[in-house]
């Protein structure tokens, strides 16, 4: 909810909505070119509103103005809201975080891209895209800064390694006027020592979007594309690579590097991104196949090179995220529930559980997208499989942006 003002008159008396003579609900959105009075007990703002110059919107006492999503009232004219002691006026938002079931709790009020510690006691997360990294204690809620002890240009990923050091992805330089290269073509991999007493070590490897990290050993997988290395890669090429982090005299290095997938070798067009090594044996890499049939969940056999499509749902967005420790299912950001007149993509998603047996079986876990403008995203599973961490997000933001970390308790959730 955002109200922007050029000439804005707003007087609200009290904070409790009392009885009103108006007993109806109206919905508003779009352009308001002339004077109007909102005569209703509840005014639902269902889209961005613009009050034109020389137009005045009058809100009567006892009215509840309820934003149905993350919309704006842009005021070039005026809005008059004069409540009374017995009939106050309330501006509020219909927020999925205000309607949580008992098995979902809010852990933080900011942050995105959660990652579980191996013992399940802590969660690593970004403050924002190109921001600092923090760690929150799941039991106490105490938040500790992870990257405050040195200067940096901001990060786009932070993941626990098997030894509890932290793998970071971020650019060595940041340009606020053109930020996206720092997420894609200029992002590099770094290792931060878990002691948090020294700056991270650069691995001298670019990484477009997110890496995948083994939960058992020091193996990682990452993506590079022609924008990362335009001098050596044909335009449009996307490759997945795998390697091991090895410490030489205490200094982490990326060794045993090998290319495991090139999108030019596939029988279909896609833009792949690694997500998870599939447990328990980690002989398969689960990856996103963006731009193919919307987006598909695929697996790459690391021994044979065979590629399997696990979601196989044309015209549906399926992006794998956290994987269950038994390897039988993965969490996906999915728009299976969207109305038929809504285009597929990463905007209108919620979190689903996808069986990795080729059946395409889906189970919906969250319902944040039922609230206009809202969605849930970027889920990860604790190593014991009992909890999911995820974030609240907005449909209008780029992928990965979040507004707080939430915990989903599978032991308390209804069985489906």
Q: Does a structural domain hold residue 278?
A: yes
The model's pTM is 0.83
pLDDT for res 98: 85
pLDDT for res 14: 32
Domain boundary among 94, 110, 131: 94
pLDDT digits (tens, 9 = 90+) for 176-192: 999 999 999 999 999 99
Q: Does a structural domain hold residue 226?
A: yes
Give dist(CA 353, CA 72) in Å, integer. 34
Pick from 407, 278, 257, 241: nearest CA to 354? 278
Based on the domain organization, do 184 and 314 belong to the same domain? yes
Domain boundary among 94, 112, 142: 94
Domain of residue 371, CATH code: 2.120.10.60
Question: What mean pLDDT is reported for the chain?
Answer: 92
pLDDT digits (tens, 9 = 90+) for 154-180: 999 999 999 999 999 999 999 999 999
Based on the domain organization, do 210 and 317 belong to the same domain? yes
CB atoms within 10 A of CB 184: 17
Q: 289-296: which pairs have CB atoms within 8 A and are 24 or more residues apart?
A: 290/319, 292/268, 294/318, 294/344, 294/345, 295/319, 295/346, 296/270
Q: Does a structural domain hold residue 192?
A: yes
Q: Does a structural domain hold residue 416?
A: no
Q: Does a structural domain hold residue 59?
A: yes
Based on the domain organization, do 132 and 265 belong to the same domain? yes
Lowest-pLDDT choice from 86-95, 235-244, 276-285? 86-95
pLDDT for res 22: 54
* CA separation, residue 120 to residues 10, 116, 138, 380 (Å): 47, 6, 8, 11
The range of the structural domain enclosing residue 333 comes to 98-409
Give dist(CA 16, CA 154) in Å, integer. 42
Give dist(CA 85, CA 286) in Å, integer. 59
Based on the domain organization, do 66 and 103 belong to the same domain? no
pLDDT for res 107: 98
Q: Does a structural domain hold residue 414?
A: no
Give dist(CA 133, CA 155) in Å, integer. 7
């Amino acid at each position: 909810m955002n109200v922007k003002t050029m000439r804005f008159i707003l007087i609200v008396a009290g904070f409790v909505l009392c009885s009103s003579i108006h007993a109806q609900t109206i919905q508003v959105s779009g352009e308001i070119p002339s004077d109007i009075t909102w005569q209703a007990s509840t005014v639902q703002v269902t889209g961005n509103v613009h009050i034109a110059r020389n137009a005045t919107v009058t809100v009567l006492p006892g009215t509840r103005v309820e934003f149905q999503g993350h919309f704006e009232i842009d005021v070039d004219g005026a809005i008059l809201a004069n409540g009374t002691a017995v009939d106050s006026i309330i501006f509020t938002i219909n927020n999925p975080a205000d309607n949580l079931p008992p098995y979902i709790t809010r852990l933080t009020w900011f942050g995105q891209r959660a990652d579980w510690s191996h013992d399940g006691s802590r969660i690593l997360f970004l403050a924002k895209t190109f921001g600092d990294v923090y760690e929150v204690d799941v039991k106490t809620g105490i938040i500790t800064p992870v990257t405050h002890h040195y200067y940096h240009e901001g990060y786009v990923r932070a993941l626990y390694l098997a030894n509890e050091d932290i793998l970071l992805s971020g650019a060595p330089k940041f340009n606020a006027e053109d930020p996206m290269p720092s997420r894609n073509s200029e992002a590099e991999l770094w290792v931060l020592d878990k002691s948090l007493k020294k700056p991270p070590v650069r691995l001298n490897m670019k990484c477009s979007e997110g890496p995948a990290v083994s939960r058992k050993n020091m193996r990682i997988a990452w993506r590079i594309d022609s924008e990362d290395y335009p001098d050596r890669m044909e335009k449009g090429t996307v490759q997945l690579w795998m390697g091991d982090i090895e410490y030489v005299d205490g200094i982490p290095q990326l060794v045993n590097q090998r290319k495991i997938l090139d999108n030019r070798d596939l029988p279909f067009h896609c833009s792949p991104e690694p997500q998870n090594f599939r447990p328990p044996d980690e002989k398969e890499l689960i990856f996103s196949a963006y731009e193919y049939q919307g987006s598909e969940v695929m697996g790459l056999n690391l021994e044979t090179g065979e590629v399997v499509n696990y979601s196989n749902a044309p015209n549906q967005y399926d992006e794998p995220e956290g994987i269950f420790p038994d390897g039988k299912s993965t969490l996906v950001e999915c728009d299976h529930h969207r109305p038929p007149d809504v285009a597929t993509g990463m905007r209108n998603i919620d979190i689903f559980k996808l069986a990795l047996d080729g059946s395409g079986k889906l189970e919906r876990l969250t319902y944040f997208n039922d609230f206009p403008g809202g969605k849930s995203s970027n889920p990860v599973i604790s190593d014991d499989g009992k909890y999911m961490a995820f974030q609240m997000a907005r449909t209008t933001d780029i992928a990965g942006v979040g507004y707080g970390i939430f915990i989903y308790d599978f032991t308390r959730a209804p069985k489906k």
